[in-house]
Structure 1
Amino acid sequence: MSKLKIYFTMLISMVVIASCSKDKFDANAQMAIDEELIKKHIATNNIPATKHTSGLYYQIITPGTGKTISSSSTVYVQYIGKLLSGTTFQEQTGSTVPLNLGTTIQGWQIGIPLIKEGGQIRLIIPSPLAYGKNSPSASIPAKSVLDFTIYVSKVQ
């Protein structure tokens, strides 16, 4: 192998290693940052939320009386998703959307089973339980805390 090839191989390796270290996402550190943001949001808006052991905050608006929800359930939902700034990034109201709960963000998988069919819940989800360092769309920045109000009309 020529010296030039060795040089380029080493250079490319260093670039790859350097770029990987910049992409590290410390979920615990981010959870601490999000915790402070959530506490401030809850206090400012007088939200009677409860903290789950996962770090998720929730408010059961209506507990529901129907079927129990599990991570393998298909839930038919209407929801509004907002950033802590109050900006709505997604709204599905008027008609229900079926979702396999096991394929949704972790915050939904943890929070939605806290109610039953016919229930409504507000979930304030720290970024490690949502999209983390990723930005799923232009309307949801990376490391965003998400605030959902979700109505579950049907469970299968």
Structure 2
Amino acid sequence: MKSYFPLLLILLFISCNNEDSTNKIQTEEDIIQYIEDHNLVAKKSNSGLYYVIETQGEGAKPNSNSNVTVNYKGYFLNGTVFDQSNSAGISFNLQQVIAGWTEGITYFNEGGEGILLIPSQLGYGSKNYNGIPGGSVLVFEIKLLKVN
């Protein structure tokens, strides 16, 4: 009698490894198209982060180790919202968030508002994370309420 166990293991391995293969990896071209479609004036950092400063703000400027309070709305390039804070915002240390936030928030002063367009390598990478498909560009409308 033949054993199908090795075949079953191979199929299981392939199906697990293909979990992320259905995700479309979004590219810099997708970000540029979004910027053009929404008539944004964005700057690009050396890391590949795009950011739009709508209001610079007048208060303190955070560094990558600062504790901050931020009001935000996060969505995909197609406009689907995946997360947002209440009007009071959330407080955290910039070392406890995705790299796109650690870098991007530092471009604003307290009271500043704008948009961060975060490529997947500065977000959650190629793996699915809490309902965010791997390879996704993340768009955040942010307001830096306070540098603590």
TM-score by length of 1: 0.77
What is residue 152 of structure 1 aligned with on the other side? 144
What is residue 105 of structure 2 aligned with on the other side? 112
> Larger % of helix: which?
1
Aligned equivalent of 2:58, options 57, 65, 73: 65
Q: Name stretches of at least 5 consecutive residues in structure 1 with no aligned partner.
A: 1-10
What is residue 8 of structure 1 aligned with on the other side? none
- Alignment pair present for 1:77 and 2:64: no
- For 2:137, the aligned partner's letter is V
CA distance in 1, matches of 2:86, 2:117: 19
CA distance in 2, matches of 1:69, 1:49: 20
TM-score by length of 2: 0.81
CA distance in 1, matches of 2:28, 2:70: 27
Q: Deviations over 1:119-151 (max 9, x none)?
A: 11210000000000122212x111100000111
SS of 1:65's equivalent? Answer: coil
Q: Name stretches of at least 5 consecutive residues in structure 2 with no aligned partner.
A: 1-5
What is residue 45 of structure 1 aligned with on the other side? 38
- For 2:120, the aligned partner's letter is S
Contact 1:76 1:153 in 2 (8 A): yes
Displacement of 1:98 in angstroms is 0.4
* % identity of equivalent residues: 40
Higher relative contact order (CA 8 A, sep 6+): 2
What is residue 80 of structure 2 aligned with on the other side? 87
Contact 1:75 1:99 in 2 (8 A): yes
Structure 1 runs (4+) deviating above 3 angstroms are none
